[in-house]
Structure 1
Amino acid sequence: MELITKIKTKQAKIGIIGLGYVGLPLVIEFCKAGFQVYGFDIDERKINLLLEGKSYIKHINNSSISEILPNFTPTTDFSRISEVDCVIICVPTPLNKYREPDLSYVFNTGEVIAKYMKKGQLIVLESTTYPGTTDEDLRKILEKSGLKAGVDFYLAYSPEREDPGNKEFSTSKIPKVVGGFSSSCLEVAKALYDQIVVRTVPVSSTKVAESVKLLENIYRAVNIALVNELKILFDRMGIDVWEVIEAAKTKPFGFQAFYPGPGLGGHCIPIDPFYLTWKAREYDFHTRFIELAGEINTQVTYYVLEKIIQALNENKTSIKGARILILGVAYKKDVDDMRESPALKLMDLLEKRGALVDYNDPYIPELPETRKYKKKKKSVELTPDNLSLYDCVVITTDHSLYDPDFIAKNSKLIIDTRNLIKSKTYQNVLKA
Structure 2
Amino acid sequence: MEASSQWAETLAERIAARSATVGVIGLGYVGLPLAACAARAGFYVIGFDIDPSKPDALNAGRSYVEAVPSSELAELVAAGSFRATSDMGRLADCDVVVLCVPTPLTATRDPDLSYVVATTETVAREGRRGQLVVLESTTYPGTSDEVMRPILEARGLLVGTDTFLAYSPEREDPGNARHRTNSIPKIVAGEEPVAGRLAEAFYRAFVETVVPVSSMRTAEAVKLTENIFRAVNIALANELKTVFDAMGIDVWEVIDAAATKPFGYMPFYPGPGLGGHCIPIDPFYLTWKAREYGHATRFVELAGEVNVAMPGYVIARLELALDETHRRSLGASTILLVGLAYKKNVPDVRESPSLTLFERLVARGAEVAYHDPHVPAVPPTRKHGTLAGRTSVPLTAEAVAAADAVLIATDHDACDWALVAENARLVVDTRNVLRRRGLTARGRLVLA
Q: Same fold (TM over 0.5)?
A: yes
1:248-397 paired onto structure 2 within 5 Å: 248-314=258-324, 315-374=326-385, 375=387, 376-397=389-410
Which residue is 2:128 aligned to? 118
**Is 1:144 matched with 2:154?**
yes
Cα separation, 1, equivalents of 2:369 and 2:66: 22
Q: Is the 8 A contact 1:328 1:396 kept in 2?
A: yes
Q: Which runs of 5+ in 2 are unaligned?
A: 1-8
State the one-letter code of the partner of 2:302: L
Cα separation, 2, equivalents of 1:244 and 1:300: 19
**1:405 Cα deviation (Å)?**
2.4
Which residue is 2:237 aligned to? 227
Which residue is 1:25 aligned to? 33
Which residue is 1:8 aligned to? 16
Secondary structure at the aligned position of 1:73 is classed as: strand
State the one-letter code of the partner of 2:39: C
- Of the structure 1 ranges 379-388 and 422-431, higher mean CA displacement relative to structure 2 is found in 422-431
Q: Is the 8 A contact 1:266 1:331 kept in 2?
A: yes
1:413-424 paired onto structure 2 within 5 Å: 413-422=426-435, 423=438
Which residue is 1:157 aligned to? 167
Judging changes above 3 Å, is the alpha-carbon distance between structure 1 residues 273 and 308 closer, same or farther for their aligned structure 2 residues?
A: same
**1:359 Cα deviation (Å)?**
0.5
Q: Is the 8 A contact 1:156 1:206 kept in 2?
A: yes
TM-score normalised to the size of structure 2?
Answer: 0.95
Cα separation, 2, equivalents of 1:257 and 1:68: 40
Q: Deviations over 1:328-371 (max 9, x none)?
A: 01110011111110000011111111111111000111112211
**1:402 Cα deviation (Å)?**
2.1
Cα separation, 2, equivalents of 1:38 and 1:58: 20
**1:300 Cα deviation (Å)?**
1.2
Cα separation, 2, equivalents of 1:60 and 1:327: 26
Q: Which of 391, 411, 415 is equivalent to 2:424? A: 411
Q: Which of 51, 61, 66 is equivalent to 1:58? A: 66
Q: Deviations over 1:73-124 (max 9, x none)?
A: 1000001000000000000000011111101000000111110121110000
Q: Deviations over 1:207-227 (max 9, x none)?
A: 000000000000000000000
Secondary structure at the aligned position of 2:434 is classed as: coil
Which residue is 1:131 aligned to? 141
Q: Is the 8 A contact 1:117 1:145 kept in 2?
A: no
Q: Deviations over 1:287-323 (max 9, x none)?
A: 0000000000011111001001111111211111311
Q: Is the 8 A contact 1:59 1:335 kept in 2?
A: no
State the one-letter code of the partner of 2:447: K
TM-score normalised to the size of structure 1?
Answer: 0.99
State the one-letter code of the partner of 1:341: S
Which residue is 2:444 aligned to? 428
Cα separation, 2, equivalents of 1:58 and 1:209: 27
**1:424 Cα deviation (Å)?**
7.6
Cα separation, 2, equivalents of 1:144 and 1:35: 30
**1:409 Cα deviation (Å)?**
1.2
State the one-letter code of the partner of 2:28: G
1:89-238 paired onto structure 2 within 5 Å: 89-238=99-248
- Of the structure 1 ranges 102-111 and 405-414, higher mean CA displacement relative to structure 2 is found in 405-414
Cα separation, 2, equivalents of 1:321 and 1:15: 54
Q: Is the 8 A contact 2:421 2:439 kept in 1?
A: no
Aligned residues: 432
Cα separation, 1, equivalents of 2:157 and 2:398: 66
Q: Deviations over 1:137-166 (max 9, x none)?
A: 111111122010011110000000000111
- Of the structure 1 ranges 419-428 and 282-291, higher mean CA displacement relative to structure 2 is found in 419-428
Q: Which runs of 5+ in 1 are unaligned?
A: none
Cα separation, 1, equivalents of 2:363 and 2:232: 29
**1:399 Cα deviation (Å)?**
0.6
**1:404 Cα deviation (Å)?**
2.5
Secondary structure at the aligned position of 2:330 is classed as: coil
Q: Is the 8 A contact 1:101 1:278 kept in 2?
A: yes
Secondary structure at the aligned position of 2:182 is classed as: helix
Cα separation, 1, equivalents of 2:137 and 2:67: 21
State the one-letter code of the partner of 1:378: T
Cα separation, 2, equivalents of 1:58 and 1:89: 20
Q: Is the 8 A contact 2:166 2:196 kept in 1?
A: yes
Cα separation, 2, equivalents of 1:3 and 1:425: 62
**1:418 Cα deviation (Å)?**
0.3
**1:425 Cα deviation (Å)?**
4.3
State the one-letter code of the partner of 1:41: D
**1:403 Cα deviation (Å)?**
3.0
Which residue is 1:37 aligned to? 45
Q: Deviations over 1:373-409 (max 9, x none)?
A: 1222100000001111111110000011123321011
Secondary structure at the aligned position of 1:113 is classed as: helix
Q: Is the 8 A contact 1:408 1:428 kept in 2?
A: no
**Is 1:75 matched with 2:99?**
no
